[in-house]
């Protein structure tokens, strides 16, 4: 299939790279390691793309006894369909992927052989980075869904972001919306004037999202520096 190379998010581009599918060379072209997909285009403009979720693993091979050229090995867990590749030559390629076991998952093995062998590390690393941009949506562990804004720890560490004045507690509280923050401050003020001594820190709840970060609001966590909560204005 002829299509233009990816324009955006290209983490690495490697020219003079041969692509090999199964045991069959597809010619020489350019490999584009883009954030959206992995694309190889032969010099004539035809080529194919692989979506990262279909790539089960990739590796740098320098073992010449296994394969005579140093290359980037990419294993795809999908049968290689005709429409994703060059037309006629791929018909034979499809048969090569099907292993002797009928019940084995179909896999396709690609090798990308750059003329510049020293580029393999960069190609490998670029692929690692792009793979991590595509986490598995079918992950059974549904607890991975964490709502709220990400607290950009790195930006704060590098002092690129202002540490807002109301970040009195640890990063968990960054999940409050701006409205929630305002409400929290208002309630804390009210608390300070409250006669009741029943309130403890955990009583200051404005939204459900705070519930997830109860731990940080309990005073009895050992590593917490005592002075951290000094302005909480709560009667202990």
Partner 1 sequence: MEVSHSVKERTIAENSLVILLQGLHGHVTTVDMRDESTATGRVTNVDAFMNVRLAEVTFTDRQGTVSHLDEFFVTGRNVRYVHIPDEVDIRATIERQLQAIHRIRYFGGRDKGRKEFPRAKH
Q: Which residues bind partner 1 (CB under 8 A)?
A: 53, 55-63, 66-67, 73, 77, 99, 104-105, 107, 120-121, 124, 127-128, 131-132, 135-136, 138-139, 141, 143-144, 146, 150-151, 153-154, 156-157, 159, 163, 167-168, 170-171, 216, 221, 223-225, 227-228
Q: Which is nearer to partner 1, 159 or 208 (CB)?
A: 159
- Return the DSSP state at 113: E
Q: Which is nearer to partner 1, 41 or 50 (CB)?
A: 50
Nearest to 22 by CA among 88, 112, 109: 109
Q: Which is nearer to partner 1, 89 or 164 (CB)?
A: 164
Structure tokens at 125: 């690393």
For the CB of residue 66, give the shortest distance to partner 1 in the complex, in Å: 4
For the CB of residue 60, give the shortest distance to partner 1 in the complex, in Å: 4
For the CB of residue 194, give the shortest distance to partner 1 in the complex, in Å: 24
Question: With DSSP H G I counted as helix, E B as strand and the rest as coil, what are the percentages for the chain, rounded to 5?
Answer: 35, 25, 45
Phi, psi angles (nearest 5°) of residue 182 = -60, -40
Phi, psi angles (nearest 5°) of residue 232 = -75, -15
Q: Which is nearer to partner 1, 25 or 56 (CB)?
A: 56
Nearest to 11 by CA among 111, 107, 128, 115: 128
Structure tokens at 176: 């409050």
For the CB of residue 116, give the shortest distance to partner 1 in the complex, in Å: 16
Cα–Cα dist 123/58, whole Å: 10
Q: Which is nearer to partner 1, 144 or 193 (CB)?
A: 144
For the CB of residue 140, give the shortest distance to partner 1 in the complex, in Å: 11
- Return the DSSP state at 105: P
Chain CA centroid to CA 33, Å = 15
Cα–Cα dist 107/196, whole Å: 67
Angle CA 144–147–152, to nearest 5: 95
Q: Which is nearer to partner 1, 1 or 62 (CB)?
A: 62
For the CB of residue 170, give the shortest distance to partner 1 in the complex, in Å: 5
């Amino acid at each position: 299939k002829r299509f233009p190379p990816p324009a955006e998010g290209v983490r690495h581009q490697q020219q003079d790279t041969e692509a090999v599918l199964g045991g069959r060379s597809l010619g020489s072209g350019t490999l584009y390691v883009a954030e959206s997909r992995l694309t190889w285009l032969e010099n004539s403009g035809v080529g194919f793309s692989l979506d990262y979720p279909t790539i089960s693993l990739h590796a740098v091979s320098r073992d010449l006894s296994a394969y005579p050229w140093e290359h980037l090995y990419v294993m795809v867990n999908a049968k290689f369909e005709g429409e994703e590749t060059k037309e006629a030559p791929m018909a034979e390629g499809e048969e090569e992927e099907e292993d002797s076991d009928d019940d084995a998952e179909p896999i396709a093995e690609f090798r990308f052989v750059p003329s510049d062998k020293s580029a393999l590390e960069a190609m490998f690393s670029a692929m690692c980075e792009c793979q991590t941009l595509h986490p598995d949506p079918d992950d059974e562990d549904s607890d991975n869904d964490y709502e709220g804004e990400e607290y950009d720890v790195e930006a704060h560490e590098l002092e690129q972001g202002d540490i807002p004045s109301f970040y009195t507690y640890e990063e968990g509280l960054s999940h409050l919306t701006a409205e929630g923050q305002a409400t929290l401050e208002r309630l804390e003020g009210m608390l300070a004037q409250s006669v009741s001594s029943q309130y403890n820190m955990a009583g200051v709840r404005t939204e459900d999202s705070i519930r997830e970060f109860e731990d940080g609001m309990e005073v009895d966590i050992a590593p917490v520096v005592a002075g951290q909560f000094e302005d909480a204005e709560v009667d202990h």
